[in-house]
Every structure is written in C-alpha cells, then in structure tokens.
Homo-oligomer: A and B are copies of this chain.
Amino acid sequence: MRRIAILAEGAFEWHYGKTATGVIRYGKDPVVAVIDSTKAGQDVSHALGAMLGEGIPVVHDINEALGYQPEALLIGIAPMGGALPEAWRWQILTAIEAGLDIISGLHVFLADDPELHAAAGKRGVTIWDVRRPPAKNRVAQFTPHRPGSHTVLIVGSDCAVGKMTVALELDREARERGLSSVFAATGQTGIMISGNGLPVDRIISDFVAGMVEEMVLDFTGQYDWVFVEGQGALNHPG
C-alpha cells in the first residue's frame, strides 16, 4: 500500500480520465490527491458528479499535491497516441525530486526519457512504465486450460464502454461469494489496478494471442474463475 497522487491535468472526468477514475474506484492503494488545475478546489466526488472519492482533494499542481504526502505519482490519463505532453514534464520532474515513484501507462516510456531517467536515478526512485511489453515473444500453442477452471472474456463494441469495469465487478462479486477468482488485466489501467497483466495494445501483433494464452494459462492454473479484460473492437481506432 502506498499513497498515490494522480496527474490528470485538464482531463479529470469520466471518459478521458478513465485511468484516474478506474484507479480511484478499484485500486488497492489509497489516492490522496488528484492534480487538475481546471477543477482545483473541488473534491473528487464533486468534480465527477458521483458518489466516488469523497474527501479526496483535486489540487492545482504537483506542489500542492505534495502537501498530502504521496509516495507515488500516477499518470492518470492516456492521450491518443500515448505521448507525453511537454506541459506535464515539470510536474513529473518535481515529483521525482520529491522522492515519488512514477507510474505511467503512456506509449512513450518515461524511463527511457534521458532527463527523467537521470533524475530518477539520482533520487533513487523507480519509474514503472506499465505499458512496457514483456521481453519474451510467444505464439499461441492452443494449450487446454485446467479442467474445472472457467475463463470469461469481456468484449465490447468500442473503447471506454466498460469492458474492464465489468470484468472487475464480476471478479469482485465472485470473490464475495467465496469463489476462487481473479481479474486478468490487458490494458494499462487494469494493470495499474491489479499490479500485473499484459499491455496488449503495446505487443507486436504476431505475439498477442500467444502472450494472452500464456497469461490465461497461468491464471487458470491458480484460480477457478478468470475474468479477462477485453481490448479493442470494430469501432476502436486501435
């Protein structure tokens, strides 16, 4: 458990801020502040207009967020194309210099950015690029799952329609009923929430099926119910 501040500058709302809202709702780590200067002064539930995150402040910038003693800064929005908006750089550098770990789901890897890499090394903090694909490649082998295990894949007609949320809710309900269940993350927000998973959209397409098969086999070996977050759809630009 570590205290998280979320950077969602200019985008803390349901659609473009889905990483932020997903982590606030389902994450294991407590969120102590959300950075969005356009909604500073509100609390999360007010900013979202929902019963979620009451008492969590929305603040103006990283300097204000540091007042809430965060231990990590999570990049809470994923711009189309996944690059780092340069306007965010100073906030990330400030967080690193204050000793915060960085958690990022951007396509561009912050740990490969010379300035951020050097700053993190100097301060001894880690940069977790959630979307970095595994070093190994693998094609599918059509291996049967463990008999008695159940795998449920959630698919949808577009992005941001709730595939991850449905998988998380089904897993939560199954565990509340005492079943052996797990959520299998395939996107950056799901990986941030569960702490592991596969960044499917960052994997070379030839190896997507094989890498997902390997993850699902690993989970079906350990759990009776595996709820797999789906990715993409016919209406999805990626």
Contact = CB atoms under 8 A, between A and B. Distances in A.
Interface of A: 80-82, 107, 137, 139-142, 200-210, 232, 236-238
Contacts of A200: 205
A65 to B, nearest CB: 30
Q: Which 4 A-B pairs have the closest CB atoms?
A: A201-B206, A140-B237, A206-B238, A139-B237
A205 B139 contact: no
A238 B142 CA distance: 11
What DSSP secondary structure best describes chain A's contact surface?
A: loop
Contacts of A210: 237-238
A207 B232 CA distance: 11
Contact of A80 (B81, B82, B139, B202): B139
B81 A137 contact: yes
Nearest to A83: B137
